[in-house]
Amino acid sequence: MPSASRQPRLIGAVALLTLLLVIALILASSVGATNVSWRAAMSGDATARAILVGIRLPRALLAALVGATLAVAGVTFQTLLRNPLADPFILGVSGGAACGASIATAAGLARLPGVVPVIAFAGACGATGAVFLLARRREYTDPTRLLLSGLVLNAFFSAVILISFGLSRQSDLAAALRWMMGTLFGAQWSDVALLAVLLSISLAILATIGNDLRMLAFGEDDAKSRGVHVERVKLIGFITASIVTGAAVSVSGIIGFVGLLVPHLMRLIWRRDFRFLLPLCALGGGVLVVLADLLSRVVVTSSELPIGAFTAVLGVPFFLSLLRRNR
Amino acid sequence: MLALRDVSYAYEGARAVAGISASFDPARLIALTGPNGSGKSTLLKLAARVLVPHTGEIAFDGTRLRDWPAKEYAKHVAYLPQDPDPTFSMRAIDVVVSGRAPFLGRFAWERDSDYDEADRALAVCDAAHLGGRYLDEMSGGERKRVFLARVLAARPRLILLDEPLASLDVSHVQQFSALLRDIVDRTGVTVVYATHDLNWAAAYSDRMLVMQRGALALDATPAEVMRPDAIRELFGFDAEAVQAGGRAWLVPRV
């Protein structure tokens, strides 16, 4: 047996993606409507510093963190539900967040700072809990019921969102719509710090159950026979991925297809198990969203296009070709 | 080695196995047979610790299953479900080396010694050449060999296979049956496998367990099972026994 087929070489893949992420971050923080340079900011230009350090850098970093979070949640859901089409949004997590946000908007709370993210986060957690309880029968959580519950709840959330929009004031609608389409506009360093901490914790938790989680690929009975505590691993994985998704959605709105697209891309390139894909998805998701956010800012200079549209424009054709492959 | 005493299990009230008592010794090839829905899969899952019996006891090496640490038990007893299918295609070597999971620490990755075990297991299954290939590029017979290698990679003492011969053509059924026989004879492992192929089971196994409606209807040598009257009673199947090559083969009466 050739030794090339042995230990997967994670270091090379991580180094490559880290390099790409750094390049994307430098690009994203250097390019924009206003022409300012890092050199000017370093030499004491207050305007340049305000734009780069106060606006673009936190925005680029938040984009990387949101992308990393969604991709990590995606690969986790795909692994633990044994379903290539699972992603955080199909499971109703984002629908719950959007539902909370739109109700808050209809109630006129959107103009109070910080209210929408908190309510969105609560909505995401509520949806997660509801989906999980609906899918649970006795001691067992059925992956198919989990997906089905998510889909059905999403339909319900969509209805609530439409009704809320109908009840919202015209002046609040623009912001609500922008949130629904995903935006990193107005990213704060506090958002960056919060998400960085949550993402680190969830990566640590997922790495801890990684050896067990990847065994689920062979089926739950098989994993059980290998000494894996299947229900415990599913519960930990599901809750971890959901909470961190809720946090990401609350700061960025709904950015679609990252959670679906990135794990499949990484798997197509490296074709390895969950333990290997976890760090790659974190980095790859970061690269994708940083670039999508950059495009959303620079394609037209007069306004910002929704970032969710750019990830979806990339994601939908991929999703469809994936469906064809899996037929 | 493994001893079941009066074991019963029911799925949401529907009885699956009831009052099973049996024990398995080292170095035996044991065929588990019986009509569809007679409880074969459930019995294997109980022995593999996938399910916990509702009543009765199962003990391995004299220790009750519930007293065995999960990972420790998995080092001794390996189970192969009926249609194992990793959600995403993997290379055969990665599939096989994942059979070493019970030996890994929480954060540990497989080491070279684990890959050596995987290579060895592939070689035992005549599948060394498949190591670098992806599962979705393989025939059904090749996949079965890879998954058998995965089970062997942990060097277990008891192997439980759920219908490993299903959907194999007749030549592969024979090859695979001979392979199981060979592994048992060479390594001293005990293999219990569920099968519907009475003739092949009788030709290669040491002992046959026949289940009927959740109960163990017959636990006997192949010669004792392969009698038309027993087959009619257990399977509701009209057959006559034909002598060939020094053993009885069952031929359906049309």
pLDDT tens-digit series, residues B103-141: 998 888 899 999 999 999 999 999 999 999 999 889 988
Nearest CB to B84: which of A79, A218, A267?
A218
**What's the pLDDT score for residue A129?**
85
**Which residues in chain B are contacts of A6 at CB distance < 8 A?**
93, 112, 115
Predicted local distance difference test score (pLDDT) of residue A6: 64
Look up the pTM and report it: 0.90
* Per-residue pLDDT at A4 exceeds 50: no
- The band of A1, judged by pLDDT with boundaries at 50, 70 and 90, is very low
Mutation test of the interface with chain A: which of B2, B50, B158, choosing the one with the most A Cβ atoms within 10 A?
Answer: B50
Q: pLDDT value at position B184?
A: 96
> Is B91 close to A271, i.e. CB distance below 8 A?
yes
Q: B129: which chain A residues are within 8 Å (Cβ-Cβ)?
A: none
Mean pLDDT for all residues in chain A: 86
More confident residue, B32 or B244: B32
Instruction: Give the B window 46-85 contacts with A, CB below 8 Å.
Output: 48-50, 69-74, 77-81, 84-85
B119 shares contact with chain A (CB less than 8 Å) = yes
Structure tokens, B154: 């942990």
Inter-chain contacts counted by CB atoms under 8 A, chains A and B:
98
Model confidence pLDDT, tens digit, residues A159-179: 998 898 888 888 788 877 877
pLDDT score for A322: 60
How much is the pLDDT for A286?
96
Residue A327, pLDDT score: 44
- Identify the band that residue B16 occupies on the pLDDT scale cut at 50, 70 and 90: very high
Question: A275 to chain B: which residues are within 8 Å by CB?
Answer: 109
* Residue A5 pLDDT: 52
Whether residue A326 is predicted with pLDDT greater than 60 in this model: the reply is no
Condensed to tens digits (0 to 9), the pLDDT of residues A85-128 reads 788 888 888 889 888 888 888 888 877 777 878 888 889 889 98
pLDDT of B9 higher than 50? yes
For residues A111 and B58, which has the higher predicted lDDT (pLDDT)? B58
pLDDT tens, position by position, A262-316: 998 888 878 788 999 999 999 999 999 999 999 888 887 777 788 877 887 766 6
The pLDDT score that the predictor gives to residue A314 is 66
| Per-residue confidence band for A3, with pLDDT thresholds at 50, 70 and 90 | very low
**ipTM higher than threshold 0.90:** yes
Q: Do A226 and B102 touch (CB under 8 A)?
A: yes
pLDDT of residue B143: 93
Chain A residues near any Cβ of chain B (below 8 Å): 1-2, 5-8, 78-79, 82-84, 207-208, 210-211, 214-215, 217-219, 221-222, 224-229, 267, 271-273, 275
Q: Do B98 and A228 touch (CB under 8 A)?
A: no
Beta-carbon separation of B50 and A224 below 8 A? yes
Tens of pLDDT, residue by residue over A19-53, are 999 999 999 998 887 788 888 888 888 888 888 88
